[in-house]
Amino acid sequence: MTQTQDDTRTRTFGWTDPAEHASQIGRRSGLELLRAMSAGEFPAPPIMHLIDTVGMRVDEGSVTVELDPQEFHYNPLGTVHGGVLSTLLDTAAACSVHSTLPAGVGYTSMDLNVKFLRPVTIASGRLTCTGSVLQRGRRTALAEARITDSAGRLIAHATSSCMLFEIPTA
C-alpha cells in the first residue's frame, strides 16, 4: 500500500486467469487442488488476492485461511467490513467441503449464516479462519467456519450448506 501527499492510499495487486482454475475442476480431487494451491504449486484464485490472504492449510474435511487485517478492509466505522469476514468464512467452509470431493464432483454454496461476535481492526492481529465439514451426503454438505484473532478470541462463526453435483464432461 502506498500513500500520496493528500493522504490518499492506493493499492495494486494482480491475479491469474480464473479460467486456469476452472479448467482443473473435475480433473483433480478437491484435496489435490487445494493442497497444490496451499503449497504454491497452483495459483490462488483471484478473490484471495483481492482480500490479501496470507496463508492456507488444507486437510481432508478442514481448511484454514489466514488474513492480516488492513486499512483497505475497513468500513466507515473504522473496523474490518463484515463482507470481508463473511468472505473468509465462506471460503473456509466451502473449501472444507471441496477438500472431500473426488475428481468430477463440484459444489456451490447454497447459504451462509454468519454471526459476528467482536469487531476487528489492525490491532486484532492475524485472523485465523478454520472451516470443517459437519456432514456430507451425496447431494449436499454442511460445514462450519470460525474466525479467531491473534489472542485466540472468537470473532465470528458461520454455517454453510453446499450443493454437490457431477461436473459434465465435454
Could you tell me the pTM of the whole model?
0.92
Per residue in 66-104, pLDDT (tens digit) is 999 999 999 999 999 999 999 999 999 999 999 999 999
Tell me what the pLDDT averaged over the chain comes to: 93
Q: Which domains does the chain have, with CATH numbers?
A: 24-166 (3.10.129.10)
What average pLDDT does the segment 130-139 reach? 97
**Whole-number pLDDT of residue 107:** 94
What average pLDDT does the segment 44-53 reach? 93
What average pLDDT does the segment 49-54 reach? 95
Strands (DSSP E) contained in 100-153 are 105-116, 127-136, 140-148
**Rounded percentage of the chain residues whose pLDDT exceeds 90:** 79
Residue 144, CA distances (Å) to 35, 111, 135, 162 in order: 20, 11, 10, 11
Residue 68, CA distances (Å) to 23, 65, 94, 109, 166 in order: 30, 11, 21, 25, 36
